[in-house]
Structure 1
């Protein structure tokens, strides 16, 4: 016997096996059991969600030799022949290939004749929206008042193209696209029976790519079984489908967050060596940004459905909510414009570069540079005259590169908060390590033992090393030890300073007349969260 593809082999034979369409199954089952049968049913929905399948089960239920029921026996001649596609009283019409009015009239000429062996003569129109306008007009009268022995079942992926006069004569069922969880559950039932081993992450990737279509999911599984020799693992499935691996996704987002264009293009180059699908790659990035956005407000929800919890947490720690939303919007626009780019690769690269270019730190740097210009950022054509008229502005305003020094914790805190070109994760690295010592051009730093791996990346160390060299005017080498220490980090120093200022402000407020009266009369005390400190607005 020749091989039968999984989509046909596992097509539901009764209503109980239908996945994800409970609202349709329930209505049809009640109608069949109570014999409240309409003469025309219209099934709408995207591809591969069960329109034709449910129509065939309905045809089987109407003509089962055991009687009309929501549970056809599956054993009688009528049930077997419907399953085999050879039942004489089930006339399936491919409307896409029989669009002419002559074809429709030829079919309708046979409507008055009684069924050959069944209870009902059933016409099943697939993709009925493809019929011509004249065909619909010829069909209307028969559709409105058919003989008692005739039932019309219609399926379409585009109900908007159907005339309202047809829609008003039918009971319409809208089949929804299936959830990824429903597709995964069904695949987990099917694959063991097919003697196929699998990783949950692999079938999750297949479910996502199928976009709610069970037929698409089973077709992809057929391909994956051949590709992996019945061992569905995530790496092989993603490679087969041209999808990005999780490592690539996280590497790209780390590079964007750190504004490291060199690392970014190194990862992109590796991606293209694997022949990935560009649109799918953007989808993967958008999905990960979606997960990061949700993690900011509902971490437990996201972590319960992902396999890379630690990486997700680390990435969420180095991105703000505003950055995530910005990157997501840029990614959406990049995907929209992908077809307009000279090549798909250029479209992807420019999208990633926009994420870096429009980073909030980039914008603030540009603003600072403009404001520091003697003429508000515009070119001064007469530089000599400008220097004479405004001598105080011609002197270099920011000279940390020439005068900066790092010999103590105070110096390190000042460097971490004021050094130019220190941004993103490199800045977070500087703020989360302690200054230990300096000997010549060697600076020793101490990081906490539980420091995030995202913060401790070598690329962050290299960036900070470069910025320090510019800051103090000589080449330095950084050494980082991970150990417990009592030396404060810049973040800890800043938090301590803020707490001291906050306590001082609270004490001053308590001494004022009105707050003192409120405290004596009502026991009211100042809310620390409501106090706006000068440190919160450095301007």
Structure 2
């Protein structure tokens, strides 16, 4: 193969090349120097942190012709042979595909034979947690008391799946996730040695997307190099990793802080138009506010930041945003992220959450100027009351107390115009309703073509339910969608004009949430039944039929026709 991936070309060949695992490499080097090598090791930790590489380096170090050494020389025949895999005494086994009892029994039978070329026969068993229970049992005795010329190195990402009887027979080393700073340093060295031009911030984005794995980071860097032209830029890194630009996150956070719904939805619409996943965006936004909270409480711990880079816009927003607001933002976004997992309309949940964040009231801080002014006024009033009492004036506090107990009315949600809707129902015809429904899909598509995608998304769960000459009733599943649509004059005018172009008739939309529609419709049917019942004996017969039908199927499934 002419080309090899970066993580293969730059695989560590010495302990010094294993990034971010000094607690492991230092211990192994001391053991090598003092010739205190154990017969069995267990390397555990996340993927791409250097477990298998460290195992091969250890195999080279114990068999190096210059041993005892703290680093393999990588020049002698033993080191070169182990590196290229030509020495049969270092055996790598993938337990994911060789997990049966027979494979382990084969090892147990061959382990007693002396090595052919080097001093130690080394068995490296990768993903050892995939072995079956029978295979583990077959390995037990051999692992506990192998011949003096044999070393076992077990590697796993899930040590909790390994029996304790196996773990207790090994020296265990836990590999940790590599910090973003260490990953950036290693990638910078590799890119420089490979002659690749890059922006420093691009490597930072890749390192944070790798989530502590060096192999993942080098794979993403390989993709970014292939995607870029002559230089790996921040935009290349964002495209390859699927992350959201810091500028968009700052814009959205500023819109939420300033309660600017239009700007917030516009920025979100542009992001989704670029193909960003709504669930991934919600996760990025949660990490953004998490980093903002950490920056407010511990600004010196820059390495603990998961998502953001400390630019001027982020610092300004962090100064203006209260911690209480950040708690609310994270709760709303986390709830939206949970709901996105169980729906086919993740975009709607994300849009609703952005609107909710923009409309959220900021919590009042105890140290805010408004609270300080209020406390000063309260103290002044208390002093005046004490002076009045001292002068013999009787102060009655009961009315004020009663006023304080008066419940505060909560803000009402969207209320549909009942009178207009009942007027439509009195003169509604099926011809008008069918005409609107037949062109409804064309109308939504026309809205999208007119660059009103974020507004047309409100119609995903909306449908016309009644129509007459000049107006129609539009039922929404959610109150918030109904309110946003009906309060947007440009949006309702666009619907009316497009329908007029498509149908030749002028229709004005009257919005109503689903729960209110059911109530108004039922009341209208009952009133119509009462009025018709007083007209004639024939109508009384129809009324009795309507009553029987109501008993059988309920009013919701009954449709009255002239």
Please report the TM-score for the alignment, with normalisation by the length of structure 2: 0.62
Partners of 1:239 and 1:103 in 2: CA distance: 44
Partners of 2:53 and 2:325 in 1: CA distance: 46
CA 60–337 in structure 1, closer or farther in 2 if over 3 Å, else same: farther
CA 201–277 in structure 1, closer or farther in 2 if over 3 Å, else same: farther
CA 355–85 in structure 1, closer or farther in 2 if over 3 Å, else same: farther
Partners of 2:9 and 2:21 in 1: CA distance: 19
The answer to whether 1:247 aligns with 2:247 is yes
Partners of 2:78 and 2:11 in 1: CA distance: 18
How far off is 1:336 after superposition? Answer: 3.8
Structure 2 residues without counterparts, runs of 5 or longer: 365-402, 413-562
Partners of 1:379 and 1:321 in 2: CA distance: 25
> 1:291 touches 1:302 (CA, 8 Å); kept in 2?
no
Could you tell me which residue of structure 2 aligns to residue 42 of structure 1?
Answer: 42
How far off is 1:192 after superposition? Answer: 1.1
Give the secondary structure class of the aligned counterpart of 1:109: helix
Could you tell me which residue of structure 2 aligns to residue 160 of structure 1?
Answer: 160
How far off is 1:352 after superposition? Answer: 2.5
Partners of 2:322 and 2:169 in 1: CA distance: 54
Partners of 2:411 and 2:19 in 1: CA distance: 67
Q: Equivalences for 1:339-378 in 2 at 5 Å?
A: 339-360=341-362, 377=409
Partners of 1:354 and 1:113 in 2: CA distance: 71
Partners of 1:88 and 1:373 in 2: CA distance: 86
CA 298–168 in structure 1, closer or farther in 2 if over 3 Å, else same: closer
Indicate the larger mover: 59-68 or 331-340.
331-340
Partners of 1:359 and 1:109 in 2: CA distance: 72
How far off is 1:291 after superposition? Answer: 3.1
The answer to whether 1:170 aligns with 2:151 is no
CA 127–301 in structure 1, closer or farther in 2 if over 3 Å, else same: closer
Could you tell me which residue of structure 2 aligns to residue 13 of structure 1?
Answer: 13
Indicate the larger mover: 322-331 or 21-30.
322-331
Alpha-carbon displacement from aligned partner over 1:474-512 (angstroms, at most 9, x marks no partner): xxxxxxxxxxxxxxxxxxxxxxxxxxxxxxxxxxxxxxx
How far off is 1:18 after superposition? Answer: 1.3
Give the secondary structure class of the aligned counterpart of 2:212: coil
Alpha-carbon displacement from aligned partner over 1:149-170 (angstroms, at most 9, x marks no partner): 1110110000000000000000
Could you tell me which residue of structure 2 aligns to residue 331 of structure 1?
Answer: 333
Alpha-carbon displacement from aligned partner over 1:218-250 (angstroms, at most 9, x marks no partner): 000000000003411102221232221122101
Alpha-carbon displacement from aligned partner over 1:281-331 (angstroms, at most 9, x marks no partner): 223322321332234334465599975532023312432121122212333
Could you tell me which residue of structure 2 aligns to residue 461 of structure 1?
Answer: none
Partners of 1:319 and 1:189 in 2: CA distance: 38
Give the secondary structure class of the aligned counterpart of 1:91: strand
Q: Equivalences for 1:118-197 in 2 at 5 Å?
A: 118-197=118-197
> 1:206 touches 1:221 (CA, 8 Å); kept in 2?
yes
Alpha-carbon displacement from aligned partner over 1:34-80 (angstroms, at most 9, x marks no partner): 01111000000000000000000000011112224222111112111
Partners of 1:87 and 1:229 in 2: CA distance: 41
Q: Equivalences for 1:209-228 in 2 at 5 Å?
A: 209-228=209-228
How many residues were matched structurally?
372
Could you tell me which residue of structure 2 aligns to residue 54 of structure 1?
Answer: 54
Partners of 2:92 and 2:300 in 1: CA distance: 49
Partners of 2:115 and 2:410 in 1: CA distance: 87
Alpha-carbon displacement from aligned partner over 1:376-424 (angstroms, at most 9, x marks no partner): 64999xxxxxxxxxxxxxxxxxxxxxxxxxxxxxxxxxxxxxxxxxxxx
Partners of 2:310 and 2:316 in 1: CA distance: 10
Give the secondary structure class of the aligned counterpart of 1:41: strand
Alpha-carbon displacement from aligned partner over 1:134-177 (angstroms, at most 9, x marks no partner): 11011101111111111101100000000000000000000000
How far off is 1:7 after superposition? Answer: 0.1
CA 236–160 in structure 1, closer or farther in 2 if over 3 Å, else same: same
CA 84–193 in structure 1, closer or farther in 2 if over 3 Å, else same: same
Could you tell me which residue of structure 2 aligns to residue 101 of structure 1?
Answer: 101
Give the secondary structure class of the aligned counterpart of 2:110: coil
CA 354–87 in structure 1, closer or farther in 2 if over 3 Å, else same: farther
Partners of 1:304 and 1:42 in 2: CA distance: 29
Partners of 1:167 and 1:90 in 2: CA distance: 22
Partners of 2:303 and 2:85 in 1: CA distance: 46
Give the secondary structure class of the aligned counterpart of 1:340: coil
Could you tell me which residue of structure 2 aligns to residue 229 of structure 1?
Answer: 229
Partners of 2:236 and 2:215 in 1: CA distance: 21
CA 302–14 in structure 1, closer or farther in 2 if over 3 Å, else same: closer
Please report the TM-score for the alignment, with normalisation by the length of structure 1: 0.65
Partners of 2:355 and 2:173 in 1: CA distance: 46
